[in-house]
Amino acid sequence: MMNEFEKALNACAADPAALLCDLRDEEDYAAGHIPGAVHLRHDRLTQDIGELADLDTPLYLYCYSGHRCAQAEVILQAMGYSAVRVLGGLDSYDGDLVEEG
């Protein structure tokens, strides 16, 4: 049975306009992230998001525990992003990870 993280990940994969965002730090992203995810540094969220997504782009966020995602959701919604979905922590993901480099 699929958990909520996996259901949301499937919804993201089914939407060609959606963007899967990894909010963990650079080293952790490089060590292993969900295939197709882009790295979005939490500490540069407001500066970098505009280069990656329009205000109506569906955004799916994950991090380690879900804490950074919850913070980012509030920030992004305040910036006008209307389709933000928090997947939660990577510990809820059972699939393979890809490494950079």
- Name the active-site residue from 12, 21, 63, 69: 63
Chain Cα centroid distance, residue 59:
7
Dihedral (Cα; 48, 53, 59, 64), 10-degree rounding: -20
CA distance 64 to 24: 7
Q: In the annotation, is 63 catalytic?
A: yes
Residue carrying structure tokens 């259901």? 7
Q: What does the alpha-carbon distance between residue 27 and residue 70 come to, in Å, rounded to a whole number?
A: 21
Catalytic residues: 63
